[in-house]
Amino acid sequence: MIKYQTLLYYCYSRIEDAEQFASDHLKFCKSLNLVGRIIVADEGLNGTVSGTVESCKIYMDAVHADPRFAKTDFKIDDVEEPSFIKMHCRYKAEIVHSGLRDPRIINPEEKTGIHLAPADFVKLKDEEDVVIVDVRSNYEHSIGRFKNAITFDIENFRDFPSMINELAQYKDKKIITYCTGGIKCEKASALLLHEGFENVYQLHGGIIKYGKEAGGEDFEGKCYVFDNRVAVDVNSVNPVVISTCRNCGTHTTKMINCANPECNEHFTQCDACGERLEGACSEECMAHPRKRVYDGTGYYVKVPQPVNTEKLKLSKV
């Protein structure tokens, strides 16, 4: 019997007094005993929340009952346990950090690439005049990506605009962007249109929806997700593993954070190397005096750091 679910969603819709909304929304989520991470901005919502099936239904019904978010598309995963430890709901400048904040240039509510349903993506993805573009960060596509997709060596989505020139050679092609759940593509496809690309599409609902509705065909590896699960299966048609252990080169889908908190690098590591290096990315990090205890997961709860009083004094001088 399914006991818990995890919901992935976003909605671009103007929120007046978004800071107060974030505070009120946090209280509402806590009243349902949900855990997760929600970003609230003037431009809308971006969240992943997890809880009991009953709580998740109440939450989705409440979001859909608000006219501003009635069009929200929830991607629902059945999970054995909640995918987060705590509940966070924070106000930020954007619901996905892109640096593209001028609504006169980029406004997903008004103009984006054509949304392709998973079934339509399947029909188009192998055509000769189609170029598939992954707009996610390097650590995300290192563990899984579409076959033949163009990827960029970027650490954050805010670096994507600087990569546009690399796509100039494909201006006469059909460009299809994709990401985890679709949110990054809203701005990425809008930016491409602004830069003069004419045939721009985006995979509606992202990799997650594609896996659920189209079996994930030709998505190689796993899909990185921003919760305790780290990565999830997508392809039930022709699955392969493409990621390798940083230390020995063995194929593995296990992604962890380095046990040295001053490094904290996100990387793939097999269980054997994890045991040998105690969850560190190198022998140097394994020997670090602040190395965290490795429990086999490579996932560490953030612990508040003590205030650096000396730095505060200097900043006031």
Neighbours of 179 (CB within 10 A): 26
Catalytic residue check, 179: yes
How many Å apart are CA 166 and CA 153, to the nearest integer? 12
Strands 44-52 and 4-12: antiparallel
Tell me which of 11, 56, 89, 179 is the catalytic residue. 179
d(CA 29, CA 36): 9
Q: Which residue has the tokens 């605009």?
A: 161
For 19, the token pair is: 């800071």
Q: What is the dihedral of CA 10, 95, 138, 118, to 10 degrees?
A: 20
In angstroms, the CA 109 to CA 236 distance is 33
Rounded CA-CA distance 238/190 in Å is 32
Tell me if residue 18 falls in helix, strand or coil: helix
Measuring CA to CA, which residue among 190, 198, 183 is closest to residue 131? 198
The distance of Cα 314 from the centroid of its chain, to the nearest Å, equals 37
- Which residues are annotated as catalytic? 179
